[in-house]
Amino acid sequence: MVASQETLDKLEDIGLNMYERKIYSALLGRGVSTAGELSEMTNVPRSRAYDVLESLAEKGFAVIKSSKPMEYVSIPPQQAIENIKKQHRQELQEKMERLDDFKESEAVDELESLYDQGLELVDPADMSGSLKGSRQIQQHQGTMFQEADEKIRILTSEEGLRDLRENHMDTLKEAKDQGVNVQILAPVSEDNYDHYDSLAEVAEVRHLEEDGEISAPEGRFSIVDNDAVTMSMTHEDVHSTQDSAFWSQSDHLAENTMGPVFETLWNKSGKPETPEDFDQPSP
């Protein structure tokens, strides 16, 4: 007996390939079985069944018995999940340690030197491009914030405050600690007040009102110092994989175009209402 296709698809999500999914679900139905028996049940080639079962054992989904013929014992799903989680944590820790070691090595200094040499040959106007997908956009913004020397200016949406808090809080705090002036402009409401309250510890945050005097723009952009800009190109309701943005290291765009836009909106904005104010009825 093999699990339903929906369950097999879920097993794929946690890293089991097609043969592993079939054999593991079949093994669960038998408790103990041989490679030959499982091969017949699942139509997995017998020559592959042994490798698949060994892989499942390494991942913590099965145990190999010392018997003739060789038999395999299924591991209960909950325990198997904990086994693979433990392996992922260990692998991640090892990768992080290797990255930290590499970051402190002379090799990185050499690569940084090569980057600086190449940058001198490039016209700043050529340092621009598109970003696709929320993950790539978030990574690029994080890099921009880390490179800030003087100021970071961010215009975002209500939902954008949550993204800043979840993805860039530590980076913005480091920037502030290093003397960078961080300014965030966004609509603040009762729904996102907690995010505003947290970000207010690392930045000056103003409420972008939408009334007769000023209309809050739906766009999102960030300016670092006066030489780098990232601007959203899609509505924030699109799927994360379809989110796109434009970035540029043009000082003209940052200082003479987007900078004045931000300053105009900043000067017409102020502190948001407090949670107590939200509870008050409208006059």
Per-residue pLDDT tens over the stretch 93-130 = 999 999 999 988 988 888 888 877 776 666 655 567 88
254 is a domain residue:
yes
Residue 38 in domain? yes
In a domain? residue 107: no
Q: Does the pLDDT value for residue 215 go beyond 80? A: no
The DSSP element (H or E) to which 123 belongs, if any, is none
141 and 254 assigned to the same domain = yes
Q: Tell me if 40 sits within 8 A of 31, measured CB to CB.
A: no
Q: How far apart are CA 113 and CA 110, in angstroms?
A: 5
Pick the residue with more confidence: 209 or 89?
89
Distances (CA, A) of 248 to 66, 120, 124, 136, 281: 62, 16, 8, 15, 45
| Domain end (from 60, 75, 90) | 75
Residues 145 and 267 in one domain: yes
The per-residue pLDDT for 2 is: 66
- DSSP 8-state symbol, 270: B
Report whether pLDDT(182) > 50: yes
Of 244, 217, 215, the C-alpha closest to 231 is 244
Strands 181-186 and 151-155, bridge-based pairing: parallel
Mean pLDDT throughout 18-47? 93
In a domain, 110, yes or no: no
pLDDT at residue 169, as a whole number: 94
- pLDDT of 278 > 50? The answer is yes
CATH number of the domain that residue 40 is part of: 1.10.10.10
Average pLDDT, integer, range 229-238: 85
Asked if 205 contacts 181 with a C-beta cutoff of 8 angstroms, the reply is no
**Are 62 and 178 found together in one domain?**
no
Q: Is residue 101 part of a domain?
A: no
So what's the pLDDT on residue 113?
84
Range scoring the smallest mean pLDDT among 75-84, 128-137, 155-164, 212-221: 212-221
Please give the average per-residue pLDDT across 244-257, as a whole number. 87
Looking at the structure, do residues 58 and 136 belong to the same domain, yes or no? Answer: no
116 domain residue, yes or no: no
Which stretch of 104-118, 139-153, 242-256 has the lowest confidence by average pLDDT?
A: 104-118
Across residues 32-46, what is the average pLDDT?
93
Residue labelled with tokens 């379809």: 242
When pLDDT is averaged across residues 53-66 and rounded to a whole number, the result is: 92
| Residue 82 falls inside a structural domain | no
Predicted confidence at residue 272, as pLDDT, reads 78
**Structural domain harbouring 24:** 5-75
Q: Which residues contact 198 (CB under 8 A, 6 or more apart)?
A: 165, 169
Q: Which of 34, 50, 75 is the last residue of a domain?
A: 75
Q: Are residues 26 and 137 in the same domain?
A: no
Q: Give the three-state DSSP class for 58.
A: helix
Tokens of 91: 């692998």
pLDDT score at 152: 95
Are 170 and 40 within one domain? no
CATH number at residue 142: 3.30.870.10
Query: Do residue 142 and residue 50 come from a single domain?
Result: no
* pLDDT tens digits for range 17-29: 999 999 999 999 9
Give me the chain's average pLDDT, please: 86
- Whether 57 and 176 share a structural domain: no
* Predicted confidence (pLDDT) at residue 85 exceeds the cutoff of 60: yes
Higher pLDDT, 239 or 200: 200
Split into its structural domains, the chain has a count of 2
- What confidence score (pLDDT) does residue 210 get? 59
Q: Is residue 86 part of a domain?
A: no
| 64, 187: one domain | no
In DSSP terms, which residues pair with 132 in a beta bridge? 244
Residue 131 shares a structural domain with residue 232? yes
Structure confidence at residue 283 (pLDDT): 44
* 223, β-bridge pairs: 153, 229
- The residue from 44, 75, 106 where one domain ends is 75
pLDDT of residue 17: 93
Q: Are residues 177 and 239 in the same domain?
A: yes
